[in-house]
Structure 1
Amino acid sequence: MRFPRGTARWIGFVLLMVMVAGLAIPPSMGDGMDADSGLGEPEEASVVRIEVPDREAMNGLLRDGVDLAEYLQETSGGIQLDAVVTPSELEELAARPEVEVIETLFTRKDWEERLEERKETVVREQRVSVMAVDQVTILRAEWFQNDTGTFLSLEAKTDAGIRPDVALTAQWNAGEGTTIDAGGTATMQRFVDAGQYLYHRMLVPVENVPTRVKVSSNEGGEVTGSVSQWLGGKKPNPENPHYVKDFISHYMTPTEIDQRLEAVVAEFPEIAEIVELPNQTEGYRRKSQVIVGSRAESAVVVTSKVWGHEGGNDWAIEVKDPGKPNQELSMDVAKRRITVELATDASGVPVTTAAQLVEALNRDAGDVIKAHLYRGNPGAGVVQPQGLTQLDNHLNAPDSVSREPFTVKAVRIGKHRDGSRLGVLAYSQEHAREWVTPLVSVETIERLLRNYAHDKETRRLVDNLDIFIIPTVNPDGAHYSFYDYNMQRKNMRNDCDEGSADPGYRNRWGIDINRNYAEGSLFDGYTGGSSNCLSDVYSGRSELSEHESRNVIELANQNPNITFAMNIHSYGGYFMWSPGAYKANGRETLPRPTLGEEAFFWGSSERILSAIQEHRGTVIQPGRTGPVADVLYSAAGNSADHLWYQNDIFAWNFEVGADRWNPEMKRWEPVGFQPAFEEGHAEAMEFSNGLIEMMRVALDFNKDKKPPRSHVTPKPGRYKKSVEVQFQVNEPATIFYTTDGSRPTFDSPRYQSSGVREGGETLTFNRTTELKWFAVDAAGNIERNYNPNGKKHNYRRATFTIR
């Protein structure tokens, strides 16, 4: 059936309003786990600031699986950390002599405020969706000339402009008698002031004076008008006359992001495509559960055999006192109801134990449910009657959020998407609660696509790179974070055995995706992951056990042209690279990059961090820049280490959300995982700057064909006593050398740093030594075009004679 134009959008609006209704703040999950008040209610979590005396104490917290945010601050008293803890976990932390609890930073109230803020924005934006097409109006269209050239100034407005995903594209002719697109095409910049949409605008240089202009919206509206001459006007900047940005207005769920990606890619099929990653997630779904009983020793956990949305939520259980003496335990299973009549003694008192009830349920109702005892209790307690109680999967998202396995999508951007260009990978939201991170990815996708037609720098990137961006690696956990439990870090898969599989633990299930990779992992003996399925840094049962982590690695494996990667996390304002993990005993890190590789990481980082600073002045501090293991803590099994050590990819980690200075309190304050959107928006804008600068770094790397140059200090010659020698290079480069007279190769010793965050080591020669070496820069260029696998001797050499 074909609907009249606009009907589909009206239906979509109705569905979206149903979804918006589902944005209401979820009901409270309860405040504790008192046996008499209900065993199935999980505790709420808060973010608290704690202090420990040293890194040994911090590593103890990591070994115990404490959920630490990506935040660390050295103080005169020790190390301050932010921990995500429930009241009972906080009580345990406070009881540890090495831990001082300083303050509570974020609570459920903050989550509720973010959700309400998001709901209001979504409602406002969806009101405009009832239109068949939007109405576009040209406000001003003028050309002018000055001493630098001829320019077109255009202002236009759409009545759907409140939505940042509504884009206006301008086309203009090249004078009378030419087609409307003969002069050029450009995306217009959305102009917002004090939170209110005013209009779209642009200022672009033109070769010929246009007489007609056409403005089209991606929502279907369009208008054509004439261009008049403007005698004055502000002198434009010919270097960058027009660059559009700011395409986000609220925090977005994975479902919204998915729809956004499909829509924007459909507009630019010549330079973008959707890549469906091979491993579907388990899905935003759970089995339905209920706890029979209110005390641990007599409680029974009942779990449906099918998913809650597939019928598990339809089942209920009732436990009755038959009111007669000497009755046997009996059960009726019919019409999605399980009715249990307890056994009684000679005086008519119920005597069925929890263990007996579990056995009977699994025997007589085992086709539809599975029963087990509560948290390892022996089940000796007597079960008490309980009224009809519905099984529930405890999921609160609206029906617009699918319960089926989720297909994770990457956007691939490039004029040549065939592997012939150097590849760049960006991926975000491995951790579900980090709501800002996918906004960085979405904003970057929009900038690359919408600036391509008119911005030379964007064209340079898109024409010469193969760009992959995954906005949300962990969609199931992210949906759960929005609708059920905002501090969800992991995915949603319940990997626990029966002792930890009751609904009171439902906010603690899942696998930490960024502890599940196959390099420097918990399974290799590294610190920072946990084998406890309830820990927020639970690494899973094996490396790469999760669909989400395999998606990232398989994308990299299937596209060996990927040479640069950025993993986007929050919060704390860090910029980091490998090694990201160490073994706490002796602090044995993964192999460190060579001195040249380290120098390349540092040099590139300065460029990227400068681009971040341009937006609002945010400075990622030097003390929060460097290898993860040096500036934060050990993160066993993280993705960047896997990409660096196994795929030879220059892999970085953003931690968006740098502390903000409070001038009244005169202190730095954290922003959290879900700051007010004004702050989250600013973080997305500045780190999108940084992500695009990383692409420029990649392009410059790919075009680097110039070999490095190196020398030694002091100069070679005769010395009366031992001499201390160091290498110097004109760019970041790795040096391979020999001192035994042999020809240097890639198997020769590498020139190393003298220590963590220090310069090059010193080679001490106590006797006459002939030093032979060559330098290799990060792009693979070898000094003097020397071939280490060949037979020529065009390496560098220096002789130090000791007499």
Structure 2
Amino acid sequence: MATALTALGISTFAPGFAGAERDKGDPIPEEESIAIVELEVPNRKALDKLAELGITLDHGIHQHGDGFEVEVVATPSQIALLKKNGIQVKDTLLTEGQFNQNVAERSEALQIQASAAAAEDTIKVLRANHYTNQSGTFLYVEAKSSAGTSASTALTAKWVEGGEEKTITMSRFVDYGEYMYHWFEVPVAAVPKSVTITSNQGGTAESAVTEWLGDRKAGNPKKHYVTNFVDHYMDPTELYERAEQLAKEFPDLVEIIDMPNKTNGYRRLAQATMGALTTNAVVVSSKAWGHEGGNDISVEFVNPGVASAPLTVKVDGKKITVELATNASGAAVSTARQVVDALNNQASSLVTATTYRGNAGTGVVTPVSAKLTDNLKAPDDISREPQTVKAIRIGKHRDGSKPGVLGYAQEHAREWVTPLVTIETAERLLRNYAHDGETKQLVNNLDIFLVPSVNPDGAHYSFYDFNMQRRNMTNHCGPNESDPAYRNAWGVDLNRNHSAGSAYHGFVGASISNCRSDTYAGPAINSEPEAKNLVWLADKNPNIKFAMNIHSHGGYFMWSPGAYDPNRVTLPRPTAGQEAFYWAASNEILTDIKEHRGTVIKPSRTGPIPDVLYSAAGNSADYLWYEKGIYAWNFEVGAQLWNKNLKRWESVGFQPPYEEGHEEAMEFANGLIGLIKVAYNQSKDKQPPSTKAVPGNGKYSGPVKVAFETSEAATIYYTIDGSKPTFESAHIRLAGTREPAEVLTIDKTATINWFAVDAAGNIEKNYNPLTNGKNFNSVTITIK
């Protein structure tokens, strides 16, 4: 097995594989496509070795006996190498062909949306009826928009009821993929004379309200709550445009926050690898970004056609001609190293040059020509400039006076579903505000921050260039690791670039030495502007008390600690009371997720990160928890689906067909709103907790185990020497990993003094440990 695992480092192309030196003179390999495959790994040691080698592990890790089923990103040659060395490939989960099909599906949706937007939006009111049954009087309206094929088209109905104007967002009805109409049905206290329908695309129509004839009995209708506002995967450009549109449409409830740290941009230097063999190849890179002129540069190596000619470089505008040195017979004799030095000396205003991956460059260069390219494939409407990352701030009072909730998505570029969760959540909060009492409570009493895409550069690259891109696009590799064949392996894992439990502090789960590792932590803590933005947002808004880091996939629901050291010592565990609050709140959130289509996040995938997944050094949720005191969770959307025929769980992947992606967005938008409800309920909690020591005061013949019963999740601070308890006193911890609270063993006479603090900050009996107050709890255990 050790031999097999060592061999895994040979490949040079797939991101995540370390890549060993090839023999001098080997042909430069062709680039390969990638696939996600499921492997049979025999034991934990082999699994850890895969991680050490930097092999890209998907989140699908399932243990059976001593072995594991793991998902990795690999090329065909790597898959063949895995098989050859005894690592069995069990299944292929996603091929490049399937990815291209998903992209085509998105393109079709975009075309439909564009054609709908281009046409003048017209609205037809199909029905506007009222009726009365044994339950009351109801208003029912159907209307159809010419732009209704796009889920982003929202229709709003307005009417006057008893002298008061009412507003409601209409539900969009789609059957078997065909848009039918928008509709709503609500009880009314008085029948309106007319109803006006307006579209966020500009259309409007008005209709009189007439009585519905017949004997229809509606019973007790469900509360009107509108969902389903996304209908395709959206790149960051679309996401930010959608955010701006919402701010324009709901100026009293929304503002857009422009983060201060701009990204590096969706941009690359233009490059070419010139030569067929590793020893005679020259890598040429433009000084200017590709879109700023680098793509216009051409380079040609020529034999001047005369004997004993010197090596010369000529620059004519954007054209560089290298006339190779020749011998007395007229044959070219310039080596790659000599050509590199000549280019760097004589064409430095346009380009830099290196030998192929830093080799000695002893091979003789042959005539060849190339036009430099940045290899970026996004359409021209995708900006190449540094991006301003945007947050959507929703609330009636956005001045810091209300408790804050943060939801942020797409730290990892390839996780296409996650931004849809934030957009769907924003749409629901805004479009249900006017008519849904619970939504109005949330928006009126909370300060909600949603970041659709933390990593816009990487996400654009994932959409248009390399679907498995995880990191941002900043290349921190030196010249020897910056040839274009490595372009899919550059960047920093933004969820490893933070300060709490960092790899720079010795924690496990990120690389600081391999700039091409998919978990590369960056050249320094918070080196990346995207990571700095999250820190800025938390610093700027100290009212944020709850946060959700939205990732995919695997159906995990996790919280801190998120990292451990090589001895598997984790960051400090939450107190028993804090852990209890995490579990209690999670129960509410996971129940909301389940309501959409019955998806159950398994108990085995719920809990602190190291307990259910792996160590993730320097992740952002740990930063929020340990350094800002924010209750911070991590979603991993995309729970496995049960295959009844094969009788096994199957992964859905980072970019499932949109039909599945839509369902994931809907159910986890439920969950994000569930977190927002948790925050609202906690903001109303003014009731201090109450606790009880069991057993209490008394005389006992031997050691006594004392436990604490609490009225709610609360942290207990205590002393056993009779002194006054404070926030500096010991607190009740967990008895062990995934265990309940510890009990105290009292083996000699002692007085236990204590108080409890709940998650809302309420202190038992309103005790103030910072004063001389004595209204703490106390019991004396007397050991005979």
How far, CA to CA, are the matches of 2:129 and 2:444 in structure 1?
A: 31
Determine if contact 1:659/1:669 at 8 Å carries over to the other structure.
Answer: yes
The match for 1:676 is 657
- Tell me what 1:119 maps to: 107
What is the correspondence of 1:168-567 to structure 2 with a 5 Å cutoff? 168-174=155-161, 182-230=164-212, 232-235=215-218, 237=220, 240-386=222-368, 388-531=369-512, 532-567=514-549
Taking the aligned partners of 1:95 and 1:733, their CA distance within structure 2 comes to: 55
Shift of 1:34: 11
- Within 2, Cα distance between the matches of 1:247 and 1:295? 53
3-state SS of paired residue (1:223): strand
Q: Tell me how far 1:569 sits from its aligned partner.
A: 0.4
* Map of 1:162 onto structure 2: 149
In the alignment, what sits opposite 2:10? Answer: none
Equivalent positions of 1:780-791 (< 5 A) are: 780-791=761-772
1:666, 1:688 → 2: CA distance? 29
Amino acid at match of 1:235: A
1:101 to partner: Cα distance = 3.6
Match of 2:51 among 40, 49, 62: 62
Deviations 1:78-123 (A, max 9, x none): 23221223345546656777x5443221111121110111111211
Shift of 1:325: 1.7
Contact kept, 8 Å, 1:289 with 1:301, in 2: the verdict is yes
Residue-by-residue CA offset, 1:711-743 (whole Å, 9 max, x unaligned): 122233111111111111121111111111111
Which of 114, 117, 125 is the aligned partner of 1:138?
125
Aligned position for 1:48? 37
In structure 2, the partner of 1:151 is 138
Q: Partner of 2:461: helix, strand, or coil?
A: helix
Corresponding residue to 2:563 among 549, 561, 581? 581
TM-aligned CA deviation for residue 331 of structure 1:
1.7
| Inter-CA distance 700–504: structure 2 relative to 1 (3 Å threshold) | same
Q: Take 1:706 and 1:80, find their aligned partners in 2: how far apart are those partners?
A: 48
For 2:273 and 2:696, how far apart are their aligned partners in 1?
Answer: 79
- Contact 1:579 1:641 survives alignment (8 Å): yes
Instruction: Decide whether aligned partners of structure 1 residues 92 and 420 sit closer, same or farther in structure 2, where only a CA change above 3 A counts.
Output: farther
TM-score normalized with structure 1 length: 0.92
Distance 1:34 1:273, change over 3 A: farther
Give the % identical residues.
Answer: 53
Distance 1:781 1:56, change over 3 A: farther
Q: What's 1:616 paired with?
A: 597
SS at match of 2:279: helix
> How far is 1:36 from its partner?
9.1
Counterpart among 637, 640, 649 of residue 630 in structure 2: 649
Structure 1 CA distance for aligned equivalents of residues 85 and 404 of structure 2: 48
How large is the RMSD of aligned CA atoms in angstroms? 1.9
Show the counterpart of 1:17: none
CA displacement, residues 311-340 of structure 1 (integer Å, 9 cap, x when unaligned): 100010111112322111112110311111
- Which of 559, 564, 568 does residue 550 from structure 2 map onto? 568
Q: Confirm or deny that 1:108 pairs with 2:89.
A: no
2:581 match: 600
Asked whether the 8 Å contact 2:313–2:320 carries over to 1, the reply is yes
Q: Secondary structure at the match of 1:154?
A: strand
Distance in structure 1 (CA, Å) of the matches to 2:688 and 2:479 = 61
Q: Is the 8 A contact 1:62 1:529 kept in 2?
A: no
Q: Is the 8 A contact 1:63 1:528 kept in 2?
A: no
Cα deviation 1:379-413 (Å, max 9, x = unaligned)? 11111111x31001000011010111111111000
Unmatched 5+ stretches in structure 2: 1-13
1:80 partnered with 2:69: yes
Tell me how far 1:59 sits from its aligned partner. 3.5
Distance 1:90 1:111, change over 3 A: same
Residue 57 (structure 1) shift: 4.0
Aligned-partner Cα distance in 2 for 1:306–1:138: 56
The alignment's TM-score, normalised by the length of structure 2, stands at 0.95
Q: Which string of whole-angstrom CA distances, capped at 9 and with x for unpartnered residues, describes residues 334-380 of structure 1?
A: 03111111111112221101111011001110111001111120111
Shift of 1:45: 2.4
Q: Which amino acid aligns with 1:258?
A: Y
Q: What's the CA shift string for 1:659-684, capped at 9, x where partnerless? A: 00111111100000110110000000
The answer on whether the counterparts of 1:40 and 1:291 sit within 8 Å (CA) in structure 2 is: no
Is the 1:64–1:530 contact (alpha carbons within 8 Å) kept by the matching residues of 2? Answer: no
Q: Deviations over 1:137-159 (max 9, x none)?
A: 11111112234332211111111
Structure 2 match to 1:723: 704
Structure 1 residue 441: deviation in Å? 0.7
Say which SS state the counterpart of residue 227 (structure 2) adopts: coil
| 1:370 aligned counterpart, secondary structure | strand
CA distance in 1, matches of 2:94, 2:631: 34
| CA distance in structure 1 between the partners assigned to 2:770 and 2:34 by the alignment | 58
Q: What is the CA-CA distance between 1:234 and the residue it aligns to?
A: 4.3
Figure out how many residues of one structure are paired with residues of the other and give that number: 764
Structure 1 segment 646-795 matched on structure 2, within 5 A: 646-795=627-776
Query: Matched residues in 1 for 2:741 and 2:217: separation?
Result: 52
- Report what 1:629 is aligned to: 610
Matched position secondary structure for 2:161:
coil
